[in-house]
Amino acid sequence: MPTNCADKKYVMNQKTSAKIIRIVKRFGVVRPKDMDAHGIPRKYIHQLHHEGILTRVGRGLYVLEGASPSENRTIAEVCKRVPTGVVCLLSALQFHRLTTQSPHEIWLAINHKARRPKEPMLPIRIARFSGKALATGIEQHTIEGVRVKVYSPAKTVADCFKYRNKIELGVAIEALRDCMSSRRCTMDELWEYARICRVSNVMKPYLESLI
């Protein structure tokens, strides 16, 4: 396979190229530094990109050219770049199919003291969480080979009531009703997360109406 690399140790053969393609197929979205664990020089990712085998979908993020994206690919791309973040609010509702909303940005919760991620190529909406509100109710999922953290349905509903001024109360109420009707959570879970998010009084009349 042709290459512009002058150093012989960076000449990529077909076997290495095929190995990289298998890795990308397995993980869906990769970064050059992901090649370190496989003993493959990072610059091979850039080379395959220039040859049209890989497509750049974000800063430092690559997928196979022509790969059909899942509906949650953007979530995978964002979480690959910001692995400490947790998918929350409208994006978590959409992931759990608890809303008719279709946000154009990925809502991501980060520590209230954390530095804001600089990812101009990715549509990220940051929400600042702290303490138990940040650390509890997290589920682990895999999207196109990428491990992502998403708040559970019950935790997301409580978060929506807490941030009702940002996403509208009606969205939170709709999510609560859908969450209960689809049996995605229990009443006890909702009360617990309402307490953690300090919205028990706000949620109380809506929770009692469902009893």
Say if 48 falls within a structural domain: yes
CB atoms within 10 A of CB 181: 9
- Residue 91 and residue 133 in one domain: yes
**Which spans in 28-108 are helix H?**
43-50, 73-81, 89-95
Residue 2: pLDDT band (50, 70, 90) is very low
Q: Is the per-residue pLDDT at 179 higher than 70? A: yes
Say if 185 falls within a structural domain: yes
Say if 3 falls within a structural domain: no
Say if 84 falls within a structural domain: yes
- Residue 110 and residue 147 in one domain: yes
- Residue 53 and residue 87 in one domain: no
- Residue 145 and residue 96 in one domain: yes
Q: Flag the least confident range among 47-51, 102-106, 123-127, 142-146.
A: 142-146
Torsion of CA 112, 114, 115, 120, to 10 degrees: -80
Q: Is the per-residue pLDDT at 50 higher than 70? A: yes
> pLDDT tens digits, residue range 66-75?
776 667 888 9
Q: Flag the least confident range among 2-6, 15-19, 43-47, 167-171.
A: 2-6
- Residue 60 and residue 81 in one domain: no
> What is the Rg, in whole angstroms, of the alpha carbon atoms belonging to the chain?
21
Please report the pLDDT score of residue 4 as a whole number: 47
- Residue 79 and residue 59 in one domain: no
Helix (H, G, I), strand (E, B) or coil at 145: coil
Please report the pLDDT score of residue 70 as a whole number: 65
Residue 7: pLDDT band (50, 70, 90) is very low
Q: Is the per-residue pLDDT at 1 higher than 50? A: no
- Residue 77 and residue 55 in one domain: no
- Residue 147 and residue 189 in one domain: yes
B/e letters for 20-46, b = 16+ CB within 10 Å, e = fewer, are beebbeebbbbbbebbeeeebbebbbe
What single letter denotes the amino acid at residue 15? K
Determine phi and psi for 120, rounding to 5 degrees. -60, -20
Please report the pLDDT score of residue 25 as a whole number: 81
Residue 15: pLDDT band (50, 70, 90) is confident
How much is the average pLDDT of 105-113?
94
Say if 2 falls within a structural domain: no
- Residue 49 and residue 79 in one domain: no
Please report the pLDDT score of residue 11 as a whole number: 63
Domain that holds residue 34: 8-64
- Residue 181 and residue 99 in one domain: yes
- Residue 50 and residue 119 in one domain: no
- Residue 31 and residue 108 in one domain: no
As to burial, measured by CB atoms within 10 angstroms (0-12 exposed, 13-18 middle, 19+ buried), residue 66 is exposed
How much is the average pLDDT of 58-65?
80
Total domains in the fold of the chain: 2
Please report the pLDDT score of residue 102 as a whole number: 81
How much is the average pLDDT of 139-146?
88
Q: Which residues contact 132 (CB under 8 A, 6 or more apart)?
A: 196
Helix (H, G, I), strand (E, B) or coil at 168: coil
Say if 1 falls within a structural domain: no
How much is the average pLDDT of 26-49?
86
Helix (H, G, I), strand (E, B) or coil at 101: coil
* Tokens encoding 121: 């190529």
Say if residues 187 and 177 touch (Cβ distance below 8 Å): no
